Chain A
Amino acid sequence: MSGNGTKRSWHLSFCKRSLSVGLILVLVAALALGKLAYIQLFDGRSMAQAAAAGRTVPHTIKAQRGRILDVNGRVLAQSLERYNIIGDPEAAASFIPINCTKRTGSDCHSIKGHPVGADGAAGVARLLAPALGMNAMELGGKLSVPGRYVVLAKRVTPEVKRSIDKLGLQGIITAELSSERTYPHADLMGALIGGIDDSGKGVAGIEQMENRQLTGTDGYTVYQQGMLGQEIPGTVTRQRNPINGKDVTLTVDQDVQWYVRQALKSGCQRFHADWALAVVQDTRTNEILALADTDDYQAGSDQAKVNSSRAVAETFEPGSIGKTISISGMLQEQVHSMSDRFTVPDHITVDNQQYKDAFDHPAEHWTLAGILQNSSNVGMVMAGEHYPDQKRYDYLTRFGIGQASALGLPGESKGLLTSPQTWDRRTRNTVLFGQGYATNAIQLTNVIATLANKGVRADQTIIHGQGAVNANRVRVVDEKVAATVMNGMESVAEKYQNTAKVEGYRVASKTGTAEVADSSGGLGGIISDWVGILPADDPHFVVTVVLKNPHSSDGVFGSITAGPIFAQIGEFLMQKYQVPTSPPRTDAIPVTW
């Protein structure tokens, strides 16, 4: 009886305990059910909204930067889509490769059919290195740092990105859309084109000057993303398409630029010059067709970003080319006519200052045209006796000396022209023959283009279709005065036909040579230049060629060094643009008497 009693009491106790546990479980289940019901029925919407909000993220869609084109539409700069490859070191540390078997199919990891052979960051690096063309050890090192974000490679091509996508490293390796600026012509006009910084902003050259035009407006899209960051289709809630930057077309002709650069390089080599530059301007539109120099800066490189085009950055005394400005002023002010007669020695002393010509000669019977043709400094001082200082300054200013050009290129130097009140006894006369003030090649080209344009100066432009063609037209001298000065310049060109002749065409030119400061600070440097209008009877182009420190057994004068380069460029231009040949010259002003 006692045994049955004990067994019964044990059963009762077990039943009670079981019931208690069961009740507790039921209570927990009831609570869970209650909570579930509360979430589903009462709090469901807010929970769903919170979850959706957690998955919903805005994504920026980068606008493409506009292209830079030459006048014929050939690409000088353009942006391409690229990717930055990002690694997640934390996820990489827990990476375990899946060996390829029949069961896994293509969802496995292998390197050229062989197992990866390593776990963690090392395994990821081994898989990734061939695609990126990097060393696996280096890559493994980059992936073995704390954190969840490390840039493994920048600006890889879409092809590389797609090959990485196939590696099965989702969640460990991701790609961010980026862009790369490419310059197909590399060093053809590196400093002129300039470059952009890492944020895509133009920081030099045309890239900087036209940054506003080239820069687009980024767009965005808001969508829900999956665990691996991929877009869940049909979840886009807001979207604004990016507005790409506008293209900028230059007036520069790539063919002319290439040829001019080749001519400069060969000339530079021939005359052992430090550097050379040239400007080609269309006189009818004032558009710059070429702005070349001998620098080998790659567009977009650091050198291209810190240096400016020499055509606007280099300033120098124009030398005898400045005589065209002085003679224009004298003719306009009716101080002299081109046929006025002078007896010109090879040296003269004025106000205790001695002036000499570049070569020794006996007293010559030259007209003003003869003084220009022979580039006589003494003759200019003699002719300028009744030409006031203020007028000397005024005409230099009217021709654009000492003022920034309208091109607006970054790094342009406006040169140096001081007021006549600051001129000393020597400077007031040296300005007559192009010394005592500084200019750049662009300004100098426009001085001669003003004469080619019948005495009217207009803004130059390097951006095609910007509306700056023939803008701000200012009459500097009368049409007759411009024609007379050009007549004198034709006599100059005729004198140097053995070195700078453009076969079949009349040319109006002026040559110049000036001493400039060298690296030691003394006047040991030489600038040799040549500016010409061609054809002289129907001006199409003005070409300026400048050489720094040329060396030649025949001398360093612009007529010997820069002249032949000018002629070479001139022949090319006449041939390329099929300019009709010139009729014979019949109206030459006498140069002697």
Chain B
Amino acid sequence: MTMPARSVRSKTSADKGHPRIQEMPTRPELSLIKGTGKARRPERGPFAEGARRLIGWTRTRGNPLLRIMTSVIFLAACMFGSLMLRTQMVQDSFEATRVQHEISNLTQDVQDDQNKLDQLQASLPDKAQQLGMQPQQGLNSIDLQGYKPPQDAQSKAGHP
């Protein structure tokens, strides 16, 4: 007892790129079509129907083949670009690893050189002494207050 599906469709053609002589009155009118969808097209498969619709759609456009080609080219370019970017990314990743490795080597070299420098600096006092240099000892300033060490302290010198 199910009711047949209904659909309302305009009878005007969407194919504006290819106008044809109208036998019917040009004024659009709506009419009720009974038994649409599967009921109307039981003899065609879904692929055929899809293809038919696609072809139908392309006929409604001014230059459908060009647009499809453009879309395909665009998609292909996207895919190619993506592939290129990915390849470049991997290439850059290799380059980054190489640079990082170089930085690591340079850091190690700096560390070693700094260590050598520290060792040389540490050995400076000993080397200076070996060359006969002596650290400054004794008073090296001028006593402007007339300081004199007590004389009697020396005479009292003794040991516990």
Contacts and interface: CB of A to CB of B under 8 A. Distances in A.
B49 interface: no
A511 B149 CA distance: 21
B160 interface: yes
B108 A504 contact: no
Contacts of B157: 495-499
Interface in A539-575: 554-555, 557, 559-560, 568, 571-572, 574-575
Interface stretch (A90-98, A180-188, A206-214): A180-188
B94 A320 contact: no
Interface stretch (A20-28, A107-115, A275-283, A577-585): A577-585
Nearest to B144: A581
A262 B129 contact: yes
Contacts of B140: 575
Contacts of B93: 233-234
Q: Which secondary structure dominates chain B's binding surface? A: helix
A221 to B, nearest CB: 11
Contact of B111 (A81, A254, A513): A81
A571 B160 contact: no
B112 A158 contact: yes
A276 to B, nearest CB: 18
Contacts of A559: 159-160
Contacts of B97: 231, 233
Nearest to B96: A233
Interface string B75-93: 0000000000000011001
B150 interface: yes
A496 B154 CA distance: 7
Contact of A571 (B105, B107, B138): B138
A158 B103 CA distance: 13
Nearest to B142: A581
B121 interface: yes
B17 interface: no
Interface residues of B, number: 40
Contact of B138 (A503, A555, A585): A503
Contact of B139 (A74, A376, A503): A503
Interface string A508-538: 0001010000000000000000000000000
Given A184-B119, A557-B159, A575 B111 contact: no
B43 interface: no
Contacts of A337: none
B141 interface: yes
B145 interface: yes
B108 A188 contact: no
Nearest to B140: A575
A184 B121 contact: yes
A74 B121 contact: yes
Contact of A359 (B112, B119, B149, B159): B159
Contacts of A497: 149-150, 153-154, 157
Nearest to A505: B139
B115 interface: yes
B41 interface: no
Given A78-B118, A233-B90, A584 B148 contact: yes
Contacts of B147: 504, 581-584
A361 to B, nearest CB: 10
Contacts of A185: 122
Contacts of B145: 581, 583
Interface residues of A, number: 55
A575 B135 CA distance: 10
A157 B118 CA distance: 17
A375 interface: yes
Contacts of A478: none
Given A184-B115, A188-B122, A572-B137, A494 B129 contact: no
A358 B160 CA distance: 6
Contacts of A186: 122
Contacts of A494: 150, 153, 156
A259 B135 CA distance: 8
B116 to A, nearest CB: 9
Given A78-B118, A504-B143, A234 B90 contact: yes
Contacts of A499: 157
A65 interface: no
Interface in A23-58: none
Interface string B104-126: 01011101101100110110010
B158 interface: yes
B139 A182 contact: no
A501 B105 contact: no
A258 interface: yes
Contacts of A262: 129
A471 interface: no
A80 interface: yes
B137 A568 contact: yes
Contacts of B22: none
A158 B160 contact: no
A556 to B, nearest CB: 10
Nearest to B95: A233
A178 interface: no
A495 B154 CA distance: 7
Contacts of A234: 89-90, 93
Given A158-B112, A184-B118, 13 more contacts: A75-B114, A78-B118, A158-B105, A188-B122, A376-B160, A497-B157, A501-B149, A503-B149, A504-B139, A568-B137, A583-B145, A583-B147, A584-B147
20 contacts: A74-B121, A78-B115, A80-B108, A80-B112, A80-B115, A157-B112, A184-B119, A231-B97, A233-B94, A234-B89, A254-B122, A258-B125, A358-B160, A495-B158, A499-B157, A503-B139, A503-B149, A504-B141, A560-B159, A572-B136
